C-alpha cells in the first residue's frame, strides 16, 4: 500500500504536495471507513498518497549511515510479539486480569490491536447514525442490524449484532439527541444508542480464545455542548433500581437518567436502555454459558458513550449478569475513549469490589476527560476525597488510564480547538502510533491517517486530505422515476423487542 512518508521514517519530513494519492482502507479491524457513493454499498474514496523519492532516499541513508531504527523495524517487532503472544492465549490479560500491568509501557502490540478494534466498534455507532436534521430518519441507525458491519465496510468483524439499543430523548440533554425537522418521523422521542453483538463461532475459536459479548454505545462525535447540559449532581445509584447495597455509591444524575429513563408510549424506548442491555446480556449468558468456550463481556464507548459503558459494565456486574448458571464468573471489561468521570469515590471502590476492569484511553488535551468534577476529583489527596465523598460534586475516575498526546503525532496539527482534541478517530490514530512513554510515534498497523479527517480538520494541511470528507453521495438524495430528487424510503427501523423481555425482567426481579 502506498503510504505517507512518515509511515516509514521516525523523523518525517513534509511531503511533496504534487505526489499525493490516497488509499483509504475499508477492512476491519484497521478502519471503519464509511463513505458511500450509494446508500446500499460502501466504497472507499481513493486518492493515493505515495512516498516521494526524496523521502525514500532519506529513509535509506539514515538507516544505513546512522543506524536509525526504521518504522518497518518496529512494525516487524510488533508482528513477532503478536505471533509469540496470540490473543487466544493472552485474552484474560488483555481484558485486564492484572490491571494491564506491564502492557502499556512499552505498549503491548496485542493490547494496542484490541483497543483499536473495540474503538472501531464504538466508531461504527457514529458512522451508522443519521445526524441529518433534514432526514425523516434523523436519530436512527441507517442500516438494519443484520447488515450493520457489512454496510460500513467491516466485512470480517467476527461478530453478529444481536439487538439495537435505544434511549428516550425526553430527558434534559438537548445537545446530545438528534431530531428531524420533518413533521412525520420514525420516532418523536427516541434515538438509536448502539448495539449488543456476540462473536461468531469462527472468531471465538480461531481468534479471540473465548465467546465475547460486546456492547457498544454511541457518543457525541466532537460536539461538546452536552457537557453544559449535565446537572453536575451525584445521586445514589440505588435510587434508580440498581441492586446496590451501599447508598453512598453515586453517579452523575444525567448519565443515570439517560440509562434508566423510558417512554412507555414509544415503541423504541418503552423499555429503558438499561432494561434492553440487561435482558440481552442475560439471554446471551444463558445461551452460551454452558459451552466449553470461555465467555467475556466487553463494553465500549466514546465521550458520553464512554460514561454509559462504565455505568452499564458496573450494572451488569452488580446485577450478577456475569455469572453462569453453574456459578462461573464472566470477566467484565470496559474500554472507554475520551470518557468523562461518572461517579464518586465509592462508585470507583465498588467497581473494584465487583472486579469490573476499566481502561480509559484519553488525549491529554481533551477537556471532556476532566469533567465533571473540575475541582474535587481523584487528583486531590485521598483523605480529602474520603472526607468530601458525600458532596454531590466530588467525582472520581475509575480504572486505569492510557494517556496519549496528539502533539506527539507528526500527522496532526499541534494546536486545535477542544472539540477536535476529543475526536475518536484521532484517538485511534494515536493508539496506532503509540509505543510507550518517551518513544517516537510510529504507525504500527497501517491504519490510514486520512480517517482522522473523516469528521474533523485535524490532519496537517500539507497532507492534502480535505476536512470533514465523509458524506453520502448527493447527501442521500436519489432521483425517482419521475426525475425528481427525493429522500428514498428506508427499511423500517427495528422497533421490536424480544417477546420474552418481560419474562427476563421478571427473572431479574426488575419491575417493568
Please give the pLDDT value at position 172: 66
Mean pLDDT, rounded, for 200-213: 96
- pLDDT tier, 181 (very low <50, low <70, confident <90, very high otherwise): confident
456/223 Cα distance (integer angstroms): 11
Please give the pLDDT value at position 511: 59
Please give the pLDDT value at position 32: 40
Mean pLDDT, rounded, for 303-324: 97
Phi/psi region, residue 153 (left: phi>0; alpha: psi -120 to 50; beta: rest), is left
Please give the pLDDT value at position 330: 98
Q: Residue 433: pLDDT above 90?
A: yes
Please give the pLDDT value at position 44: 38
- Whole-structure pTM value: 0.84
Please give the pLDDT value at position 375: 77
The per-residue pLDDT for range 105-151, each reduced to its tens digit, is 999 999 999 999 999 999 999 999 999 999 989 999 999 999 999 99
Q: Residue 64: pLDDT above 90?
A: no
Q: Residue 465: pLDDT above 90?
A: yes
257 is written with which cell numbers? 437518567
- Among the listed residues 366, 435, 445, 456, the single catalytic one is 366
488/428 Cα distance (integer angstroms): 33
The per-residue pLDDT for range 224-239, each reduced to its tens digit, is 656 666 767 899 999 8
Please give the pLDDT value at position 378: 84
Say what percent of the chain tops pLDDT 70: 79
The per-residue pLDDT for range 6-62, each reduced to its tens digit, is 333 333 333 343 333 333 343 344 444 433 333 333 333 333 333 333 343 234 324
Please give the pLDDT value at position 68: 57
Mean pLDDT, rounded, for 208-234: 81
Residues shown for the chain: 512
269/276 Cα distance (integer angstroms): 9
- Among the listed residues 59, 140, 303, 445, the single catalytic one is 303
**Is residue 422 among the annotated active site residues?**
yes
Which domains are assigned to the chain? 5-507 (3.40.50.1820)
Please give the pLDDT value at position 351: 98
Higher pLDDT residue, 231 or 157?
A: 157
- pLDDT tier, 449 (very low <50, low <70, confident <90, very high otherwise): very high
Q: Residue 71: pLDDT above 70?
A: no
Mean pLDDT, rounded, for 183-201: 91
Strand 211-217, strand 234-236: pairing = unpaired
429 is written with which cell numbers? 490514530
Residues 116/428, Cβ–Cβ less than 8 Å: yes
Residues 130/167, Cβ–Cβ less than 8 Å: no
Average pLDDT over the chain reads 83
57/405 Cα distance (integer angstroms): 30
Q: Residue 373: pLDDT above 80?
A: yes
Say what percent of the chain tops pLDDT 90: 59
Q: Residue 398: pLDDT above 80?
A: yes
Please give the pLDDT value at position 495: 56
**Is residue 371 among the annotated active site residues?**
no
Please give the pLDDT value at position 37: 33
Please give the pLDDT value at position 506: 77
Cα dihedral 189→274→29→404 (10° resolution)? 100
Q: Per-residue b/e over 414-453, b at no fewer than 16 CB within 10 Å?
A: eebeebbbbbbbbbbbbbbbbbeeeeebbbbbebbbbbbb
- Among the listed residues 422, 432, 448, 456, the single catalytic one is 422
Higher pLDDT residue, 290 or 449?
A: 449
191/171 Cα distance (integer angstroms): 12
Mean pLDDT, rounded, for 281-296: 94
**Is residue 503 among the annotated active site residues?**
no
Residues 259/273, Cβ–Cβ less than 8 Å: yes
Within 10 angstroms of residue 11's Cβ, the number of other Cβ atoms is 11
Amino acid at each position: 500500500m502506498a503510504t505517507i512518508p512518515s509511515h516509514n521514517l521516525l523523523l518525517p519530513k513534509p511531503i511533496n504536495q504534487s505526489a499525493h494519492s490516497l488509499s483509504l482502507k475499508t477492512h476491519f479491524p484497521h478502519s471503519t471507513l464509511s463513505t458511500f457513493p450509494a446508500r446500499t454499498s460502501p466504497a472507499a474514496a481513493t486518492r493515493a498518497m505515495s512516498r516521494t523519492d526524496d523521502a525514500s532516499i532519506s529513509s535509506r541513508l539514515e538507516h544505513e549511515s546512522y543506524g536509525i531504527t526504521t518504522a518497518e523495524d518496529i512494525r516487524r517487532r510488533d508482528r513477532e510479539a503478536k505471533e509469540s503472544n496470540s490473543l487466544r492465549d493472552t485474552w484474560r490479560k488483555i481484558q485486564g486480569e492484572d490491571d494491564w500491568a506491564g502492557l502499556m509501557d512499552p505498549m503491548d502490540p496485542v493490547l494496542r490491536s484490541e483497543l483499536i478494534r473495540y474503538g472501531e466498534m464504538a466508531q461504527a455507532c457514529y458512522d451508522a447514525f443519521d445526524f441529518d436534521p433534514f432526514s425523516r430518519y434523523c436519530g436512527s441507525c441507517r442500516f438494519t442490524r443484520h447488515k450493520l458491519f457489512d454496510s460500513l465496510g467491516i466485512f470480517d468483524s467476527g461478530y453478529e449484532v444481536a439487538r439495537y439499543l435505544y434511549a428516550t430523548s425526553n430527558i434534559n440533554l438537548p445537545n446530545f439527541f438528534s431530531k428531524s425537522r420533518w413533521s412525520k418521523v420514525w420516532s418523536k422521542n427516541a434515538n438509536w444508542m448502539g448495539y449488543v453483538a456476540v462473536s461468531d463461532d469462527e472468531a471465538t475459536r480461531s481468534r479471540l480464545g473465548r465467546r465475547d459479548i460486546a456492547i457498544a454505545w454511541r457518543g457525541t462525535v466532537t460536539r461538546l455542548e452536552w457537557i453544559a447540559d449535565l446537572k453536575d449532581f451525584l445521586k445514589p445509584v440505588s435510587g434508580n433500581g440498581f441492586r446496590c447495597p451501599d447508598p453512598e455509591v453515586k453517579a452523575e444524575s444525567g448519565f443515570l437518567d439517560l440509562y434508566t429513563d423510558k417512554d412507555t408510549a414509544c415503541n423504541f424506548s418503552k423499555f429503558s436502555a438499561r432494561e434492553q442491555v440487561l435482558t440481552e446480556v442475560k439471554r446471551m449468558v444463558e445461551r452460551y454459558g454452558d459451552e466449553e468456550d470461555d465467555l467475556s463481556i466487553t463494553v465500549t464507548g466514546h465521550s458520553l458513550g464512554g460514561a454509559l459503558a462504565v455505568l452499564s459494565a458496573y450494572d451488569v456486574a452488580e446485577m450478577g449478569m456475569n455469572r453462569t448458571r453453574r456459578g462461573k464468573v464472566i470477566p467484565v471489561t470496559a474500554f472507554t475513549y475520551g470518557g468523562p468521570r461518572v461517579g464518586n469515590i465509592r462508585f470507583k471502590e465498588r467497581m473494584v469490589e465487583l472486579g469490573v476492569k476499566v481502561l480509559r484511553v484519553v488525549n491529554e488535551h481533551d477537556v471532556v476527560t476532566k469533567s465533571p468534577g473540575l475541582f474535587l476529583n481523584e487528583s486531590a489527596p485521598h483523605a480529602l476525597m474520603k472526607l468530601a465523598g458525600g458532596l454531590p460534586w466530588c467525582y472520581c475516575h475509575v480504572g486505569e488510564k492510557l494517556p496519549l498526546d496528539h502533539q506527539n503525532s507528526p500527522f496532526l496539527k499541534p494546536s486545535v480547538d477542544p472539540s477536535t482534541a476529543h475526536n475518536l478517530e484521532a484517538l485511534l490514530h494515536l493508539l496506532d502510533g503509540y509505543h510507550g512513554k518517551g518513544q517516537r510515534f510510529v504507525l504500527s498497523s497501517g491504519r490510514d491517517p486520512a480517517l482522522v479527517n473523516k469528521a474533523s480538520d485535524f490532519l496537517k494541511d500539507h497532507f492534502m486530505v480535505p476536512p470533514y470528507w465523509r458524506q453520502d453521495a448527493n447527501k442521500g438524495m436519489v432521483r425517482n422515476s419521475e426525475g425528481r430528487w427525493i429522500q428514498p424510503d428506508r427499511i423500517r427501523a427495528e422497533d421490536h423487542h424480544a417477546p420474552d423481555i418481560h419474562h427476563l425482567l421478571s427473572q431479574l426481579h426488575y419491575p417493568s
